[in-house]
């Protein structure tokens, strides 16, 4: 992998300014972060070795300004769509972690012409709370994110910023754990989707993967062994390998390729 | 209590021990092999009429001590020869095999038998890893990952892929699925504490074989129970199976004589060639993760081989004697190990098949009525 360096900039959109990290070259790809906020994982770096990766910070996260007109997950989807139209020549692949997967699904519903392929990593928004009860204590909940302790990224953000991130998240999701409206429209999604679930995930139930696999007309569900919820950090090599193969070969990724001749 | 009739399907015709591993197969005579399979399958089917709850088979490679390279083939034959007895595959050597294939074959057996499969998954004994050219160091990791794939293959309602350390599949959706829901009963073996703790991680029975010391066996079972409880399960005596080489005859003297001859052939001829292969794997790899486990494995085999029949009975290694004596031995196992399931290996070495059948019928008529309610 070549050395990846991200440039940071603010992109002016109709609702306000969007902070974006960009690296790499090739086909445009938008990486949408999880509820933990924007973090550069080994997967993002691997993607940037093959794609032009844009990693926006959803408004309000990590101290960025919220946009007055962007208050819901669907609004975030419209904002991402506007970014793709403006900065990606009108089409990009989307890789979304958790919250980002939820936003990506709504982009695919509302703006099908802007999306190439869709990768959903343990997506939020389709979680029945009766299937997996989460501990009320935030520290206990955070422990459930990772299966590989050694791969937990060092937290450099101030506690207040993390607390503000959690508040912003609640503002967007408005108490919804299971987005019935989205489920009703999954069948409209034209993009081919790769659904990744951590085999050891204790936050998102397996049912979420089943709902998406059954509902998305062109989709593939894959479990990442050794990963809990934070797939990109627990198993960066396994995750990047399958995501890159899917993005590169589309449905042909089902077929194993022979190793190059020595 | 519950009882399983187990058959190792040995080759009975060797005049002398093979000198090295793998045993050369020049002495194998296919026509005699056909006769043996027919006899053995008939004996196994007879277990149903003798009151056994399970009939069991397992998997071994490159050896005259077992002609079962794939116990699922034996299980398939049993689906057509039996009506109600559980078919216990004890089991497939999971780290050596394609887990999707194992999930498929077990599902076929469960559906073909009307939901009678007991699905055994074993790591196997060390020399099998040479036979299938799999690194012994990877055995535990392969076992854990493959088990997770199989459980999903049996229960997932949608096609799924798997991106793992040892296995990668882009799409799995087996046909048929098992008949039993959520899946067939699972059994895994444990010969040491490390294995017992591993088994406790899964919704599985634990099986112990080749007991050389009852107190050691009890500590292994305790390790399983502790691990299972730590993983949120409440195991019962029904979840513990103990394997015993078994000979039942009209008198103690007759049984001991039959057993002594059979074990002499088993240990002195059939089991001899793989000792070198076992030693290489144990000494040169990390097949056994816990310190001392490899030494214990080798010592256990040597200990059993060096003991007289009476010493093996006393140690709790075998069931041997008249029906009245075997009843006492079973009660002792039940009390000491807390196991509610005994797996009886009744075809030992070159033991005459007539003696095996006689022992099975003595079990039905005179042993089972005394121990069923324990």
Q: What is the pLDDT of residues A115-163, one digit of tens each?
A: 999 999 999 999 988 888 888 888 888 889 999 999 999 999 999 999 9
Pairing of strands A192-198, A219-224: parallel
**How far apart (Å, rounded) are the C-alpha atoms in residues B103 and B153?**
7
Asked if the peptide bond before residue B274 counts as cis, ω within 30 degrees of 0, the response is no
- Numbered residues of chain A with Cβ closer than 8 Å to any chain B Cβ: 196, 199, 206, 209-210, 213-214, 220-226, 235, 238-239, 241-242, 253-256
pLDDT band at B38 (very low <50, low <70, confident <90, very high): very high
Which tens digit of pLDDT belongs to each residue from B156-202?
Answer: 999 999 999 999 999 999 999 999 999 999 999 998 999 999 999 99
pLDDT at A227 over 70: yes
Higher pLDDT, B28 or B286: B28
Q: What is the mean pLDDT of residues B304-327?
A: 94
Using a CB-CB cut-off of 8 Å, the residues of chain A touching B148 are: 199, 225
Q: Please say whether the beta carbons of B319 and B344 come within 8 A.
A: yes
Which tens digit of pLDDT belongs to each residue from B195-238?
Answer: 999 999 999 999 999 888 999 999 999 999 999 999 999 999 99
Cβ-defined contact of B165 to A253 (cutoff 8 Å) = no
Q: Return the residue of B nearest to A239 by Cα.
A: B163
pTM of the model: 0.93
Query: How close, in Å, is residue B337 to chain A by CA atoms?
Result: 34
Cβ-defined contact of A213 to B161 (cutoff 8 Å) = no
Residue A121, token pair as written in the block: 């990593």
- List strand residue ranges (DSSP E) for B150-225, in order: 160-163, 168-172, 185-189, 205-208
Q: How big is the A-B interface in CB pairs under 8 Å?
A: 56
Cβ-defined contact of A225 to B162 (cutoff 8 Å) = yes
Q: What pLDDT was estimated at residue B290?
A: 72
Q: Return the residue of A nearest to B159 by Cα.
A: A221
Residue A103 backbone phi and psi in degrees, to 5 = -60, -45
Contacts of B171 by beta carbon, 8 Å cutoff, 6+ apart: A220, A254, B159, B160, B161
pLDDT at B117 over 70: yes
Interface with chain A: mutation pick from B138, B161, B168, B201, highest number of A CBs within 10 Å: B161
Residue A99's alpha-carbon distances to A33, A35, A66, A134, in angstroms, are 7, 5, 16, 16
Q: Return the residue of B nearest to A224 by Cα.
A: B163
Q: Is B157 on the interface with A (CB under 8 A)?
A: yes
Cβ-defined contact of A225 to B160 (cutoff 8 Å) = no
Which tens digit of pLDDT belongs to each residue from A172-189?
Answer: 999 999 999 999 999 999
Of A39-48, A129-138, B259-268, least confident by mean pLDDT is A129-138
**How far apart (Å, rounded) are the C-alpha atoms in residues A20 and A117?**
20
Mean pLDDT of chain A: 95
Q: What pLDDT was estimated at residue B275?
A: 79
Cβ-defined contact of B163 to A209 (cutoff 8 Å) = no
Q: To which residue do tokens 């790899």 refer?
A: B285
Q: Please say whether the beta carbons of B298 and B282 come within 8 A.
A: yes
Task: Note whether ipTM > 0.95 here.
Answer: no
Which tens digit of pLDDT belongs to each residue from B59-116?
Answer: 999 999 999 999 999 999 999 999 999 999 999 999 999 999 999 999 999 999 999 9
Query: How close, in Å, is residue B163 to chain A by CA atoms?
Result: 5
pLDDT at B53 over 90: yes
Q: What pLDDT was estimated at residue B285?
A: 81
Residue A250, token pair as written in the block: 């589309």
Contacts of A160 by beta carbon, 8 Å cutoff, 6+ apart: none
Q: What pLDDT was estimated at residue A2?
A: 65
Q: What pLDDT was estimated at residue A1?
A: 63
Cβ-defined contact of A254 to B164 (cutoff 8 Å) = no
Cβ-defined contact of B148 to A220 (cutoff 8 Å) = no
Which tens digit of pLDDT belongs to each residue from A211-220?
Answer: 999 999 999 9
Using a CB-CB cut-off of 8 Å, the residues of chain B touching A221 are: 158-161
Which tens digit of pLDDT belongs to each residue from B290-313?
Answer: 777 777 777 777 777 789 999 999
Q: Is B98 on the interface with A (CB under 8 A)?
A: no
């Amino acid at each position: 992998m070549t050395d990846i360096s991200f440039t940071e900039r603010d992109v002016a959109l109709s609702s306000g300014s969007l902070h974006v990290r960009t690296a790499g070259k090739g086909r445009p790809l938008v990486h949408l972060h999880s509820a933990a906020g924007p973090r550069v994982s080994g997967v993002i770096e691997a993607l940037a070795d093959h794609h032009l990766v844009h990693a926006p910070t959803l408004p309000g996260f990590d101290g960025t300004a919220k946009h007055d007109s962007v208050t819901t997950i669907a609004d975030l989807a419209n904002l991402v769509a506007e970014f793709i139209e403006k900065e990606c020549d009108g089409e990009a692949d989307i890789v979304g972690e958790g919250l980002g997967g939820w936003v990506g699904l709504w982009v695919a519903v509302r703006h099908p012409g802007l999306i190439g392929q869709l990768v959903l990593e343990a997506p939020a928004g389709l979680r029945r709370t009766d299937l997996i009860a989460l501990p009320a204590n935030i520290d206990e909940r955070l422990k459930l994110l990772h299966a590989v302790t050694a791969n937990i990224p060092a937290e450099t953000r101030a506690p207040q910023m993390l607390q503000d991130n959690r508040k912003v998240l609640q503002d967007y999701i408005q108490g919804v754990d299971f987005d019935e409206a989205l489920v009703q429209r999954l069948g409209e999604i034209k993009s081919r989707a790769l659904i990744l679930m951590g085999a050891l995930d204790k936050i998102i139930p397996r049912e979420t993967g089943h709902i998406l696999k059954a509902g998305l007309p062109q989709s593939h569900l894959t479990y990442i062994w050794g990963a809990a919820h934070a797939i990109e950090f627990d198993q960066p090599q396994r995750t990047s390998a399958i995501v890159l193969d899917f993005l590169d070969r589309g449905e042909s990724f089902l077929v194993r390729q022979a190793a190059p001749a020595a | 209590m519950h009882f399983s009739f187990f058959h190792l399907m040995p080759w009975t015709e060797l005049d002398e021990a093979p000198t090295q591993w793998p045993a050369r197969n020049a002495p194998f005579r296919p026509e005699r092999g056909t006769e043996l399979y027919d006899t053995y399958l008939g004996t196994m089917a007879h277990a149903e009429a003798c009151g056994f709850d399970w009939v069991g088979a397992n998997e071994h490679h490159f050896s005259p001590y077992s002609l079962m390279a794939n116990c699922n083939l034996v299980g398939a034959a049993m689906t057509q020869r039996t009506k109600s007895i559980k078919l216990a595959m004890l089991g497939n050597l999971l780290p050596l095999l394609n887990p999707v294939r194992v999930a498929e074959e077990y599902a076929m057996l469960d559906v073909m038998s009307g939901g009678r499969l007991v699905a055994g998954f074993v790591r196997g004994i060390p020399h099998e890893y040479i036979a299938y050219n799999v690194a012994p160091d990877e055995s535990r990791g392969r076992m854990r990952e493959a088990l997770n794939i199989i459980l999903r293959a049996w229960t997932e309602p949608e096609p799924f892929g798997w991106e793992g350390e040892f296995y990668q599949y882009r799409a799995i959706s087996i046909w048929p699925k098992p008949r039993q829901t959520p899946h067939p009963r699972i059994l895994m073996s444990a010969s040491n504490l490390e294995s017992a703790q591993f088994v406790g991680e899964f919704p599985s029975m634990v099986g112990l074989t080749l007991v050389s010391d009852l107190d050691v066996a009890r500590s292994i079972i305790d390790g399983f129970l502790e691990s299972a409880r730590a993983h949120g399960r409440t195991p019962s005596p029904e979840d513990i199976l103990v394997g015993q080489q078994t000979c039942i005859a009209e008198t103690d003297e007759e049984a001991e004589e039959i057993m002594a001859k059979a074990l002499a052939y088993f240990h002195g001829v059939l089991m001899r060639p793989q000792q070198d292969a076992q030693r290489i794997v144990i000494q040169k790899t990390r097949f056994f993760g816990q310190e001392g486990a490899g030494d214990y494995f080798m010592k256990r085999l040597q200990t059993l081989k060096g003991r007289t029949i009476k010493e093996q009975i006393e140690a709790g290694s075998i069931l041997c004697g008249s029906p009245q004596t075997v009843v006492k031995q079973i009660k002792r196992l039940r009390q000491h190990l807390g196991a509610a399931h005994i797996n009886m290996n009744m075809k030992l070495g070159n033991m005459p098949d007539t003696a095996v059948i006689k022992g099975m019928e003595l079990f039905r008529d005179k042993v089972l009525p005394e121990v069923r309610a324990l």
